[in-house]
Structure 1
Amino acid sequence: MAKPPIAPMRPPCQLYLITPPVLPDIAAFAVALAAALDAGEVAALQIRLKDADDATVLAAVSVLKPIAQARGVAVILNDRPDLAARSGCDGVHLGQGDASVAEGRRIMGPDAMIGVTCHDSRELAMDAAEAGADYVAFGAFFPTDTKQTLHRPDPDILGIWQETVEIPCVAIGGITAVTAGRLAHAGADFVAVSAAVWGHPAGPGVAVRELTEAIADSA
């Protein structure tokens, strides 16, 4: 296996939002999303609707994509490169049981952003990088109710990755404003958050401000 190129100096860590797995009221969530994105700098939004049918996913993308893209936020669809390409998303996030990076690239084209879940495995991440992924995601770093998780990587994996490999890494799983700075400091290029934003008692705007401040303070 060829060794990936040594990483250059990287930009500061950024926030990556993930939708809840179910959106019973898409209009209400659209308002919450706008409030979140207006509250601080967000790099990407992953639309992750597990177990939803194609029509539901496409309808959600049609509502949420313009809100995000109007604010310069990349829109990533979870699992489905076919629907991501059909709906004009900026990229797709693939799990280990989803389409391959090559298949995602074939469907979405050379300019699409393709991310890959790699759990706690640098080997899986290296394979994804070699296959042409644009980023890899490690996690879950903390317990989370958003999805069932089996892996608990050590934060050291982020620093090791950042020091040796060019493509960015995302930290995911149970992250809050209390822990986001720790993972950013450890070497995450992006910190992915879901429940800590949408379930924040003071609202998603406050949550994003707290998270972006925590990330900035870690630099």
Structure 2
Amino acid sequence: MEQTLIPQVSHSIPKLYLLTNDDDFALLYQKLAAALATGIIALLQIRRKQILALPNGESMLYQEAQQIVNLAKSYHVPVVINDDITLAEKLGVGVHLGQQDGDISVAKHCIAPDQIIGRTCHGDMALIRKAKTDGASYAAMGAVFASNTKPHAHTISRQQLIEGCQQGIDICVIGGLSAENVVELTGLPITYVAVVGDIMDLPVHKIAARCKEWQQALNTWA
């Protein structure tokens, strides 16, 4: 099968999209403050699966999320909540939905029209087209590389990424991405590059420098 080629033209630089990890909240907050202070983070997702698994997880997550949202607002960084439309509505933020975690139509009804709605689409063009039709802000494709966060996730090919970028909706890539390997995607018209471990697994004092390395890597799109 002949490969579709992307024209060799300059594209906008992808935006760095940071996801929280499951660190103790005090440490997590310090890490987020260090990352956001660089001015490089364009979108933040609150994803705290271990907290949610606790008996009082929903209450704890709400309290944590309030503090994170206030921190992000101080840096003018929009926030999305992972998989929870009700919490997103309470907090006045956006939401990212997996395929089994709620309808985009419900999210659009519940949250403000200026808030971001993301949809997990893996490498499936039909799901990407449906996300666009339903009114999602972006479609997330991945895993691009094997990752520590989701080690058993299927990776997608460059050809799938190329086709995904041709579906008329902003594309977010996720999965095993680092400031070193993201340059393999240079030239693709990607809107968001989602990162967890490559930033959040570092100690607080190393996060700012790593964010700057990410900015240098993303500047290769220019």
Same fold (TM over 0.5): yes
Asked if the contact 1:184–1:190 (Cα under 8 Å) also holds between the matched residues in 2, the reply is: no
Paired with 2:75 and 2:116, the residues of 1 have a C-alpha distance of 18
Return the offset for 1:158.
Answer: 2.9
2:5 maps to which residue? none
Amino acid of the residue matched to residue 23 of structure 2?
Answer: L
Describe the superposition over 1:7-54 as per-residue Cα deviations: whole angstroms up to 9, x where unpaired.
xx963211000000x232x22221211111122421100000115121
Give the 3-state SS of the residue equivalent to 1:16 in structure 2.
strand
Paired with 1:19 and 1:77, the residues of 2 have a C-alpha distance of 10
Aligned positions, number: 207
The two structures have a TM-score, normalised by structure 1, of: 0.87
Return the offset for 1:174.
Answer: 0.8
Report percent identity of matched pairs: 31
Amino acid of the residue matched to residue 33 of structure 1?
Answer: L
2:185 maps to which residue? 183
Paired with 1:13 and 1:158, the residues of 2 have a C-alpha distance of 14
Is 1:88 the counterpart of 2:89 in the alignment? no
The two structures have a TM-score, normalised by structure 2, of: 0.86
Is 1:77 the counterpart of 2:81 in the alignment? yes
- Give the 3 Å change call, closer, same or farther, for CA 83–109 of structure 1 in structure 2: same
- Structure 1, unmatched stretches of 5+, are 1-8
2:3 maps to which residue? none
Is 1:103 the counterpart of 2:98 in the alignment? no
| Aligned match for 2:146, one of 139, 143, 146 | 143
2:68 maps to which residue? 64
1:4 maps to which residue? none
Pairs within 5 Å for 1:11-22: 11-20=12-21, 22=22
Give the 3-state SS of the residue equivalent to 1:112 in structure 2.
coil
Paired with 1:145 and 1:157, the residues of 2 have a C-alpha distance of 22
CA RMSD after TM alignment: 1.9
Return the offset for 1:128.
Answer: 0.8
Give the 3-state SS of the residue equivalent to 2:187 in structure 1.
helix
Give the 3-state SS of the residue equivalent to 2:190 in structure 1.
coil
Return the offset for 1:218.
Answer: 3.4
